[in-house]
């Protein structure tokens, strides 16, 4: 069912974009507050990442279910339900008195975000006809992924320094309430498929539980041992649950994820590249924020302000990318963005113990930011290429899920790499200088791995992604219509 005529498409677009920005922002806004949260709620170094990871896992794991629910039950209705859950969870998270309470609230936030995000994207794609106008809208929307990460760190620093870590969660409450009030006014009701259909909750639960088991095994392996019963058991459980998910999807009459959709080459490759991008980008914010605060002694506010050039660079390159994709196609623009991000990440592998912001941090930050604008825009456009209108919610949920799941798994793996290196370097060391040196050594290893992943992304983009010719961006818009 198509959406009704909308005479205020850019107002609707703005409301959906604000909601998406708030959701993406909450992945990174917490990073600057992590040292304060650790002190206030007594998290260990290993468990601290769950404040970030549980949000990303629930978000990524239930995105497909959110897209399917919007297609079946109405996108505006689900947008409002998700916003209400996200807002309530933010309130309770800010009131948390212990680590378990906060992690539970962050999980509920992730579930709310998983409902909102694919529905909001489906609303956006239904607003504009094929061609440059849709490319512009999707380009802006896709850029929110990178910009939201940068803005989140900035806003997190301001709120943590001025009001306390609780306000990185409380800030969502008034925004959510306003969005709920405005939704019936600006968002027309629409559905992607016939109102009748099944709801694959079992598929969503199995894939999410499998991913949580996988990440838990990776996080705990350095302490418990890679061959311990707990680690092997976690990986075995993850394998069983993920295989069960595939079996459920193949046998379901109305699967959460129609596996045949991966026959669309641009969609399949875009999701693989989105996974790789998410794997390193979210971790970059995590490690760089810790480096600035713990090693260089930046305040939360100074850390947030240090990301301001990154945010502005993403805005600039995302706007430029939405124009260039229409003219040159998404393949060359995406490859160029991957190259810039790889070069920037490589600079972070040399961060010194006594770093200087202008000489040691800003150059890499600007290169990565420029790359992000050129990465997320073509990925967002390619991810809906060739998708039927009835499955736009599925496709939008899928690309978001790929990025978020990549982020969760990447943070777990890269944190493990970093912590392992730290543990090796700290053995027998004495004094604060040795401690901070070991921390930096761990960060170096994480950035080394991130650089390799992005370099692989360049090769895969050039070798596998279609759409390299002039005008491909226009053909993608037509295909996504």
Ranges of each domain in the chain: 9-200+252-480, 201-251
Name the token pair of 5.
Answer: 């005529």
Contacts of 280 (CB under 8 A, 6+ apart): 345, 410, 414, 450, 453, 454
> What is the distance between the terminal CA atoms of the chain, rounded to a whole angstrom?
13
What is the model's pLDDT at position 469?
46
CB atoms near residue 465 (< 10 Å): 24
CB 300 within 8 A of CB 293: yes
Contacts of 414 (CB under 8 A, 6+ apart): 280, 283, 287, 446, 449, 450
Superfamily name with CATH number, domain 9-200+252-480? MFS general substrate transporter like domains (1.20.1250.20)
Radius of gyration of the chain (CA): 21
Specify burial of residue 46 (Cβ count, 10 A radius: 0-12, 13-18, 19+).
middle
What is the model's pLDDT at position 3?
45
CB 369 within 8 A of CB 320: no
List, run by run, the mean pLDDT of 10-residue segments along the chain (481 residues). 57 84 80 85 77 81 76 84 95 92 93 87 73 69 66 83 91 92 84 58 82 79 80 92 90 80 87 91 86 90 87 84 83 93 95 92 94 86 75 72 82 87 83 88 95 95 73 40 33
The model's pTM: 0.79
Kindly list the distances between the CA atom of residue 30 and the CA atoms of 156, 372, 380, in Å, as whole numbers in the listed order: 6, 20, 25
Kindly list the distances between the CA atom of residue 213 and the CA atoms of 207, 337, 340, in Å, as whole numbers in the listed order: 10, 33, 34
What is the model's pLDDT at position 192?
61
What is the model's pLDDT at position 357?
93
What is the model's pLDDT at position 18?
85
Q: Please, what sign has the CA dihedral across residues 212, 213, 218, 220?
A: positive
What is the model's pLDDT at position 481?
33
How many C-alpha atoms does 101 have within 13 Å on its Cβ side? Answer: 14
């Amino acid at each position: 069912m198509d959406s009704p005529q909308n005479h205020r498409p850019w107002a609707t677009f703005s409301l959906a974009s604000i909601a998406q920005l708030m959701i993406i922002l909450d992945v990174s806004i917490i990073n600057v507050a992590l040292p304060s949260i650790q002190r206030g709620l007594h998290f260990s170094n290993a468990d601290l990442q769950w404040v970030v990871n549980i949000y990303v896992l629930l978000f990524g794991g239930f995105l497909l279910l959110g897209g399917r629910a919007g297609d079946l039950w109405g996108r505006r209705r689900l947008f409002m339900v998700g916003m209400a859950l996200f807002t309530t969870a933010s309130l309770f998270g800010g009131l948390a008195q212990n680590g378990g309470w906060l992690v539970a609230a962050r999980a509920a936030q992730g579930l709310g975000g998983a409902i909102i995000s694919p529905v909001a994207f489906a609303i956006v794609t239904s607003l504009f006809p094929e061609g440059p106008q849709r490319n512009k809208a999707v380009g802006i929307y896709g850029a929110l992924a990178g910009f939201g990460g940068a803005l989140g760190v900035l806003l997190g620093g301001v709120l943590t320094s001025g009001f306390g870590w609780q306000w990185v969660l409380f800030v969502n409450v008034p925004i959510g309430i306003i969005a709920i009030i405005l939704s019936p006014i600006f968002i027309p009701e629409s559905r992607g498929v016939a109102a009748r259909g099944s709801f694959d909750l079992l598929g969503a639960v199995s894939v999410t539980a499998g991913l949580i088991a996988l990440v838990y095994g990776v996080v705990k392996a350095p302490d418990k041992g890679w061959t311990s019963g707990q680690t092997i058991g976690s990986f075995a459980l993850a394998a069983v649950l993920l295989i069960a998910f595939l079996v459920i999807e193949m046998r379901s009459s109305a699967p959460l994820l129609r596996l045949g959709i991966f026959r669309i080459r641009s969609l399949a490759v875009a999701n693989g590249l989105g996974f790789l991008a998410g794997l390193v980008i979210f971790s970059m914010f995590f490690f760089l924020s810790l480096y600035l605060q713990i090693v260089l002694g930046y305040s939360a506010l100074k850390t947030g302000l240090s990301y301001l050039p990154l945010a502005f660079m993403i805005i600039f390159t995302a706007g430029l990318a939405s124009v260039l994709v229409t003219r040159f196609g998404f393949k060359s623009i995406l490859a160029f963005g991957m190259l810039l991000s790889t070069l920037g990440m490589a600079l972070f592998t040399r961060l010194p113990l006594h770093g200087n912001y202008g000489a040691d941090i800003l150059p890499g930050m600007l290169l990565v930011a420029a790359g992000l604008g050129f990465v997320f825009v073509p990925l967002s456009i390619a991810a809906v290429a060739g998708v039927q209108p009835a499955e736009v919610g599925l496709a939008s949920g899928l690309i978001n899920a790929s990025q978020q799941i990549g982020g969760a798994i990447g943070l777990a793996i890269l944190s493990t790499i970093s912590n392992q290196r730290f543990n090796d370097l700290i053995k027998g060391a004495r004094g604060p200088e040795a401690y901070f040196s070991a921390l930096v050594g761990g960060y170096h290893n994480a950035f080394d791995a991130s650089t390799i992943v992005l370099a692989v992304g360049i090769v895969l983009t050039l070798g596998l992604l279609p759409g390299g010719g002039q005008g491909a961006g226009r053909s993608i818009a037509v295909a996504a219509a």
